[in-house]
């Protein structure tokens, strides 16, 4: 663990007089091989002339052979895999298609603006699922209603699965069993000789009206850049070879909705909230990049496009820090090979969206579910904004990552799961720093993750200490 590492080093305590002419120890930051995989999530010129049907078609086309394999593996080689148009009533067979969950509470712009419904705009809810939801399976040509042994509340629209059952007389398909594409194949990661850490943090929340977390953030930066702590800790911090900021660098309060509705003459001299926040971010990044390679992913409240995949923040916003080659502005979702360990993750929008449309509450559980579905964001483009891709669906997982993370979770959670073919994946939900003051340290050698908690003291002393323990 990180702490153990730091404590093991010999360093004299700093509670002493300064030694004469001693400059102080200087440690070298451990470097590592880094190769980003940016092409997948880059959208060059955008054209919104297309319908979204193409993504679903591409998704189904790619997943169908994988699912047929899995189906044969699970239910025997002789299982009939039928297309919906070839279904015969009463015959036990397997069908492969995309799930669609019809939810009454799902916000629909057509319903909102329709006059016959006379609906007022609905407030945002926590969950949009009800008891009356229906599951439907669609393939290239047809769709059929599902019922039976399938947990309707756990499923989300857009997941491609294989279902085993039979069609009954009433035109519905009775599900006896189902299976997902499960984890893709994984290239084994190389064994590392020494401990190397990657720091994951998200939800820095700069530019917010309350600045409680700023000292915590400063402590984080100081620790990583080797200013904090004594020699032992500093040498431990030198093993942090990369920092990954997973989205929401700016706080939600910088998204000023009023600006668009207010009259122009009132807003003429006012600056957008994000301008100051980006300047703060630039200064923060400058401190970091002068000492460690940093990857910056955009998030929901950051100044980049709304639809997934979010393109990297533009370097012109970071005049001070973009001079350093250690600053990498990357897309959301993000995939990279860090010293042979494959990292894949998002800033959390996909997980939050699934949380709204299913009964699952734990970000970690949802993360695992997306991995098993072999798709980063199954709800895109239905309820999650997405670019209308044409011949490919870049959110499908083609290769299994070693570390799979999602940012801006309410709490820190991590789990190591194993796949059927010996894959080993570390799932990490990176907590929101502005509220939890916690970042994650992933050890590349052992593939374990440890939270790092930064705190300061405030006027309510007793409450503070309570909070520290029970976080």
Partner 1 sequence: MDELYLDNIDEYVNDHNKIVTYKWLSLTLGVHVNTAKQMLYHYLEHKRKESSPQLHATYLVSGKLEDKGQMCHKVSVVREDQLEDFKSKMSLIVSVHVYSVQKALLKDSGPLYSVDYDAIKDNLKNCSRYSAIRCARAVPMSAAELQQVQEIQRAPPSAPENKKSAMNGDANIASKPSSKPQKGIMGMFANKSAPKNQDNSKDVKPEPKEESPVPEAPKTKPAAKSSPMANFFGKKPEKPVEKQQEAQLAIASEQQHQRTTAEEPAAVQLHKETKADSGSKTKRMEESDSEEEKMEKKKRRRIKKPQPDSSDEDVIPDSPPQMKTSEPSPKKEPETVQHSHMSSGTKIRRRRKVLKSRTFKDEEGCIVTEKDYVSESYSETEDDFQSTKQAPRNNNKAKPTSSSKDDDKKTQKKSSASSNKGSKQASIMGFFQKK
User: For residue 41, what are its two tokens?
Assistant: 């999530």
Question: Which span sits near partner 1 by CB under 8 A: 36-44, 90-98, 250-258, 333-341?
Answer: 36-44
Residue ranges in 291-310 that form contacts with partner 1 under rule CB under 8 A:
291-293
Sign of CA dihedral 133, 138, 144, 148: negative
| 468 is a site residue for partner 1 (CB under 8 A) | yes
Q: Which region, judged by CB under 8 A, interacts with partner 1, from 21-29, 77-85, 125-133, 151-159? A: 21-29
Pairing of strands 143-148, 172-179: parallel
- State the nearest-atom distance from the C-beta of 236 to partner 1, in Å: 7
For residue 20, how many other CB atoms are within 10 A of its CB? 5
CA distance from start to end of the chain: 19
Binder among 80, 145, 445, 471 for partner 1 (CB under 8 A):
471
Site for partner 1 in 251-290 (CB under 8 A): 283, 286-287, 289-290
Q: Does 124 bind partner 1 (CB under 8 A)?
A: no
Nearer to partner 1, 390 or 421 (CB): 390
Nearer residue to partner 1 within complex by CB, 252 or 468? 468
Please confirm whether the linkage preceding 337 is cis (ω < 30° from 0).
Answer: no
115, two tokens: 């006059």
- Cβ contacts of 283 within 8 Å, gap of 6 or more: 320
Residues 337 to 376: which contact partner 1 by CB under 8 A? none
Taking the C-alpha atoms of residue 194 and residue 187, their distance in angstroms, rounded to an integer, is: 21
Task: Rule CB under 8 A: say whether 441 interacts with partner 1.
Answer: yes
Q: Is 141 in the site for partner 1 (CB under 8 A)?
A: no
Q: Is the peptide bond before 357 cis (omega within 30 degrees of 0)?
A: no
In this structure, what token pair is assigned to residue 312? 């990297």
Task: Kindly tell me which residue out of 33, 35, 47, 143 binds partner 1, with binding defined by CB under 8 A.
Answer: 47
Is 209 among the residues that bind partner 1 (CB under 8 A)?
no
Question: Closest approach of Cβ 124 to partner 1, in Å?
Answer: 31
Binding-site member from 231, 250, 336, 426 for partner 1 (CB under 8 A): 231
Q: Map the footprint of partner 1 across residues 382-401, applying CB under 8 A.
A: 390-391
Residue with tokens 């039976």: 148
Closest approach, Cβ 84 to partner 1, in A, equals 25
459 binds partner 1 (CB under 8 A): yes
**HEC string of 68-107?**
HHHHHHHHCCCCCEECHHHCCECCEEEEEEEEEEECCCCC
Asked if 435 contacts 252 with a C-beta cutoff of 8 angstroms, the reply is no
């Amino acid at each position: 663990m990180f702490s153990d590492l730091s404590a093991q080093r010999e360093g004299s305590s700093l509670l002493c007089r300064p030694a004469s002419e001693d400059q102080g120890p200087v440690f070298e930051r451990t470097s590592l091989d880094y190769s980003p995989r940016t092409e997948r999530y880059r959208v060059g010129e955008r054209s919104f002339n297309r319908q979204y049907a193409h993504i679903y078609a591409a998704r189904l086309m790619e997943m169908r052979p994988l699912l047929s394999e899995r189906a044969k593996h699970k239910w025997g080689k002789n299982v009939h895999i039928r297309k919906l148009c070839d279904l015969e009533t009463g015959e036990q067979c397997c069908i492969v298609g995309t799930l669609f969950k019809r939810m009454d509470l799902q916000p629909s712009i057509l319903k909102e603006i329709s006059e016959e419904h006379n609906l007022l705009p609905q407030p945002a809810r926590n969950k949009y699922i009800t008891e009356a939801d229906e599951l439907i399976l669609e393939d290239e040509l047809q769709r059929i209603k599902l019922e039976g042994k399938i947990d309707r509340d756990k499923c989300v629209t857009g997941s491609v699965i294989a279902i085993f059952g039979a069609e009954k007389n009433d035109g519905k398909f009775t599900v006896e069993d189902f299976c997902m594409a499960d984890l893709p194949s994984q290239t084994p990661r190389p064994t590392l000789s020494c401990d190397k850490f990657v720091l994951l943090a998200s939800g820095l929340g700069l530019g917010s009206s309350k600045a409680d977390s700023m000292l915590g953030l400063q402590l984080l930066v100081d620790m990583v850049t080797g200013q904090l702590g004594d020699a032992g800790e500093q040498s431990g911090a030198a093993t942090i070879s990369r920092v990954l900021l997973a989205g929401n660098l700016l706080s939600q309060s910088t998204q000023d909705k009023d600006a668009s509705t207010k009259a122009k003459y009132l807003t003429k001299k006012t600056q957008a909230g994000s301008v100051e926040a980006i300047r703060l971010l630039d200064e923060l990044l400058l401190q970091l990049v002068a000492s460690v390679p940093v990857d910056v992913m955009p998030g929901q409240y950051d100044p980049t496009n709304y639809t997934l995949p979010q393109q990297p923040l533009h370097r012109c916003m970071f005049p001070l820090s973009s001079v350093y080659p250690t600053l990498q502005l990357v897309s959301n979702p993000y995939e990279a090979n860090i010293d042979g360990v494959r990292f894949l993750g998002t800033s959390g929008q996909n997980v939050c969206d699934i949380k709204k449309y299913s009964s699952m509450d734990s970000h970690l559980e949802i993360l695992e579910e997306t991995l098993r579905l072999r798709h980063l964001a199954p709800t895109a483009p239905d309820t999650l904004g997405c670019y209308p891709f044409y011949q490919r669906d870049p959110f499908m997982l083609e290769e299994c990552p070693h570390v799979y993370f999602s940012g801006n979770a309410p709490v820190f959670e991590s789990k190591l799961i194993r796949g059927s073919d010996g894959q080993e994946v570390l799932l990490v939900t990176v907590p929101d720093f502005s509220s939890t003051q916690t970042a994650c340290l992933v050890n590349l050698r052992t593939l374990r993750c440890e939270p790092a908690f930064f705190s300061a003291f405030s006027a309510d002393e007793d409450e503070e200490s309570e909070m520290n323990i029970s976080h």
